Amino acid sequence: MLLGIEKLIFVFISILSIYFTSVAVRKIAANISSARGEINWKQVLANLPGTLFNYLSLNRTFKTRWAVSITHAFVAWGFLTFLVINLNDVLYGFFDFRLLESLGLFGNVYRSITDIFNVLILLGIMALAIRRFVFSPDTFFVNKNVIIHPKAISGIARDSAIVAGFIFLHNSARLFGEAAYVARVNNANDPWQPIISYVAKDLYQFSGSTLVSIEHSMFWLSLGAVVLFLPYFALSKHIHIFFAPINQALKPYRKAIADIPYIDLNDESIESFGATNISDLGYEQVIDAYACIMCFRCQDACPAYQTGKPLSPAALEINKRYAFNSGSKTDIALTTLISEEAVWACTTCGACVDVCPVGNEPMKDILEIRRSLAMMESSFPKQLETAFKGMERNANPWNQPIANRTKWAEGINVPTIETNPTPDILWWVGCSPSTDPRAQKTARAFADILNTAGINFATLGKNESCTGDSARRAGREDIFFALATQNVEVLNEVNPTLIVTSCPHCLNTIKNEYPAFGGNYKVIHHSELINNLIGSGKIELEQDSTSPSVTYHDPCYLGRHNQQFEQPRNIMKSLSEDLREMPSNRDRSFCCGAGGAQVWKEEGGDSKINITRYEQAKSTSSQTIAVACPFCLTMLTDAAKEDDHPMDVLDIAELVAQKMIRK
C-alpha cells in the first residue's frame, strides 16, 4: 500500500523512535537494577499463573469504581487485541499482505472481535476523558498538607490528555482507514467487520483514488502516531501497561500484607536499617513507582488520608516516579518525598496494598522509612517512648510489672503451662487482655468459654511477653528482635500443638513473622475456635427472638492481613438474626485507627479515625458493635464515650459468653 518514499520515512522515524525509547528504557532498567535485593526466579515462575490471570481479567481493578473499571477495561482489553491489529496493518502497509485475512476462520473471528473493541476503546477513552477533564473528581488531587511533586498534578493531567488524544486518534484513524479499504475492495461490505462496513458505506461514494488517499492518510495518523508516541510513553504513567504484570510477577512471597524483610541483628556486618534515601529501596519498591497507575484508589482507601492526615500512599509512589524521571536517585532523601508526620500517620491497615490494581505496596516503603528514622536517627513521636520502654523493661507496651501479667485471671480457672504442661491448646493471651482493664473482660469471657466447652488449655502465664508487633510497625526492629527471639525460645520449649490468640496483631506476628526466627506454629484467632466450638455443639447458645441488632467491625489484622472474614460473622449469625453490615466491610473495612503503633500516640488530622469508623457503625442503626480485636475494642469504646446515645461495643467472646448455656 505505501509508496517507496513513505516506507523509507516510516522506517527512519521508527528507528529514531526506538532509539529515544531505548534511552528511557535503559534509564528505567538502571534504576531497577541498582536497587537492593535479588530477584527470586523460582518465585517469579510460581507467580506467573496468578499474574497472567490478574493481568488479563483485570480482576483487581474491579475491586472498586465499577463504572470506571468497565470503561478502563474497554481500553485495556482493546489495547491487547490491537497489538495484532497493528502488526497486521504494518504488514499490509509494507507488503500488501493481509495477515488476519490469510488465517482463515481464526483471523476472521479475530477481526470481528477487534471491530467491536475498536468502538469500545473509543467509547471508553471518551468516558474516561470526560470524567477526568469535565467532572474533575477530587480523586485526582491531594490535600494541601500532602507533599506532592510540583510537576505531578499538571503532569498527570498532561499525560492523561496526551494519551487520551493519542488513543482517540489512533483508533479513529484505524477505523476510517480500514473502512476506506473495505469500501474500495469489498464494495463497503465485510460481514466479519459490521461496524467498519457501516462506516464504509459513507465512504463508498468516493472514487478509488480518493479512497487510496484516505488509506494512506489514516495509516500515518494511526501507526505514525504509535511510532511518535513511544518515547513519551516510556516516561509517562501509562507505562504501567507493561510494568503492572512485571510488578506482580516479581513480588516476593508474603504471608501477610504487613510482611517486611527480616533483619538479623546478630549480624554485625549490617551498617544501616530501613530506607533513608531512595537508593535504599528494594527493586520491587522501585518497580512500584513505574507500575503506579496514579489512579489514587489507595488514597481513597487510606484512613489516614480520609481523616485529614498528610499521608497519601498515591503521592508517595508518584513522587518516587518523578524523582526517578528527574535523573537523580542516590541523593534523594525519602523524607523529601513524604513528610515525617505522614510516615508516622500510617495505621498499617493494608488498605492501600489490598486495593492497588497493580500490586503496589506503599505501606512497605513507609515501614522501611520508619525503620530508618527510629533505628538510625532515633527520630520518632515522643509519645511512643512509654510503649518502647515498657516493651524493653517489662515486656509489654503498657509498662506494667511482669508480676501483674496474670492478675486478670485471679479467681477463675486459667491454668498455666507449669500446672498443665500438655494442653491441647496454648492460649496466647496477649498484652491488652492481660493489662488493659477493658480488654481483661474479653479475656475472662474467653476463659469462661474454654472452661464451659471443656477445652484442655493453658497459658504461658508470666512467661508470656509482648509479641513485638507495635515495635516492628514503629520501626524499632531491635525491640522486636529481642522480644521475638525470647518468645520463640519459650514457645519452642513448650512445643504447642495449637496456639489460639485473642488479638489479631499477636496472630499475625506469631503466625507470619516468627517463622523467620525459627518459630513455626499452627496459630488461630479465638473467633475461629469459638466458631468451631459452636459448630461442633460444644457450646450451646440461648435462642430468643429479642436478640439486639449487631454490626461487625472487621479488624485489619484479622481481615485484610489474614483473610478471616466469615468465622466472626458465623458467630454473629448464631447470636442474632439481625446482623447488619457497615458501608465498609470485609476487605474494604475502615480501620479503627490503632494499628501501626498508633494506639500509643496522639492522632492529628481533621478528624479521628475511630470516630469516623464509629459513625459508620451508627449508620447501620444497630444496637451493638461486635469486634474481634482488643485494639479495636479500645478505639471504638473511646469513640462511643463521645456519643450522647452510645452503642454497646463488645468483643465476640463477650457476646458469646452472655448467651452461652452453662450446664
* pLDDT band, very low/low/confident/very high, at 481 (cuts 50, 70, 90): very high
pLDDT at 393: 95
Q: Going by C-beta distance under 8 Å and a sequence separation of 6 or more, which residues neighbour residue 280?
A: 36, 272, 274, 334, 368, 372
DSSP state of 146: S
Coil, strand, or helix at residue 71? helix
pLDDT at 1: 85
pLDDT, residue 547, reads: 79
Q: What percent of the chain has pLDDT over 70?
A: 99
> Cβ(557)–Cβ(508) under 8 Å?
yes
Which letter does DSSP use for residue 373 in this model?
Answer: I
What's the confidence (pLDDT) of residue 38? 85
**CA-wise closest residue to 571 among 629, 626, 505, 624:** 626
**31-40, 112-121, 390-399, range with the lowest pLDDT:** 31-40
Judging by beta carbons within 10 Å of its beta carbon (0-12, 13-18, 19+), is residue 207 exposed, middle or buried?
exposed
Q: Of 606, 604, 615, 605, whose CA–CA distance to 640 is shortest?
A: 615
Task: For residue 412, count other CB atoms closer than 10 A to its CB.
Answer: 11
SS3 at position 648: strand
Cα separation, 409 vs 413, whole angstroms: 7
Q: Is the pLDDT of residue 627 over 90?
A: yes
pLDDT, mean of residues 348-357 = 96
652-659 and 437-452 helices, crossing angle to 10°: 50
* Chain-centroid distance, C-alpha 231: 30
At 518-535, the pLDDT tens digits run 999 999 999 999 999 999
CB-based contact 315:142 (threshold 8 Å): yes
Query: Which tens digits make up the pLDDT trace of 423-448?
Result: 999 999 999 999 999 999 999 999 99
What's the pLDDT at 369?
A: 97
- In sequence order, the β-bridge partners of residue 551 are 580, 625
| pLDDT for residue 251 is more than 80 | yes
278-379 and 383-531, same CATH topology: no
Mean pLDDT of 80-105: 95
Contacts of 225 by beta carbon, 8 Å cutoff, 6+ apart: 166, 169, 170, 173
Q: How many CB atoms lie within 10 A of CB 239?
A: 18
- Name the phi and psi angles at 650, rounded to 5: -135, 145
Alpha carbons 365 and 51: distance in angstroms, whole number: 22
Q: Is the pLDDT of residue 329 over 80?
A: no
Q: Predicted confidence band at 252 (pLDDT cuts at 50, 70, 90)?
A: confident
Query: How far, in Å, CA of 248 to CA of 50, rounded?
Result: 9
Torsion sign (Cα): 62, 68, 70, 73:
negative
Q: Is the per-residue pLDDT at 470 higher than 70?
A: yes
Q: Please give the helix or strand (H or E) that residue 601 lies within, else none.
A: none
DSSP 405: T
User: Mind spelling out the 3-state secondary structure of 312-341?
Assistant: CHHHHHHHHHHHHHCCCCCCCEHHHCCCHH
Indicate whether 404 pLDDT > 90.
Answer: yes
CA 323 → CA 7, 74, 241, 264, 663, distances in Å?
39, 32, 20, 31, 67
- Encoded amino acid at 48, one letter: L
Question: Contact, 507 vs 560, CB < 8 A?
Answer: no
Contacts of 198 (CB under 8 A, 6+ apart): none
Ordered DSSP codes for 549-573: PEEEPPPTTTTTTT---HHHHHHHH
Task: Look up residue 357 and give its amino acid.
Answer: P
Q: Is the pLDDT of residue 330 over 80?
A: no
Closest CA to 367 of 389, 348, 386: 348
Give, in words, the CATH class of 543-659: alpha beta
Residue 289 has a pLDDT of 95
List the one residue out of 468, 384, 484, 401 whose CA is nearest residue 435: 401
How far is Cα 654 from Cα 626, in angstroms, rounded to an integer?
9
Residue 331 has pLDDT above 80, yes or no: no
The CA distances from residue 150 to 153, 249, 286, 289, in Å, are: 7, 32, 20, 17
State mean pLDDT over 247-252: 88
Smallest CA-to-CA distance from 391 within 400, 383, 382 is with 400
Q: How high is the pLDDT of residue 510?
A: 97
φ, ψ (nearest 5 deg) of residue 312: -130, 110
Name the 3-class secondary structure at 3: coil
Mean pLDDT computed over 153-169: 91
Stretch 328-333: mean pLDDT: 68
* Averaged pLDDT, 152-173: 92
Residue 92 pLDDT exceeds 90: yes
Check if CATH label 3.90.1150 holds for domain 383-531: no
Residues 356-387: tens digit of each pLDDT: 999 999 999 999 999 999 999 999 999 999 99
Domain 278-379 has CATH 1.20.1050.10: no
* Grid cell in block for residue 384: 511512643
* pLDDT at residue 545 greater than cutoff 90: no
| Least confident range of 236-250, 469-483, 487-501, 502-516 | 236-250
Domain boundaries, the chain: 4-140+151-250, 278-379, 383-531, 543-659
Residue 326 vs residue 614, higher pLDDT: 614
- What pLDDT score does 284 carry? 92
User: What amino acid occupies position 131?
Assistant: R
pLDDT at 461: 96
pLDDT at 158 over 80: yes
Q: Give yes or no for residue 303 having a pLDDT over 90.
A: yes
Q: Is 428 helix (H, G, I), strand (E, B) or coil?
A: strand
**Please, is 126 exposed, middle or buried when counting C-beta atoms within 10 Å of its C-beta (0-12, 13-18, 19+)?**
middle
Q: Among candidates 60, 61, 241, 52, which has minimal Cα distance to 159?
A: 241
Nearest to 617 by CA among 605, 633, 601: 633
Residue 532: other Cβ atoms inside 10 A: 15
For the cut 80, the answer to whether the pLDDT of residue 258 exceeds it is no
Rounded to whole angstroms, the Cα distance separating 293 from 276 reads 25
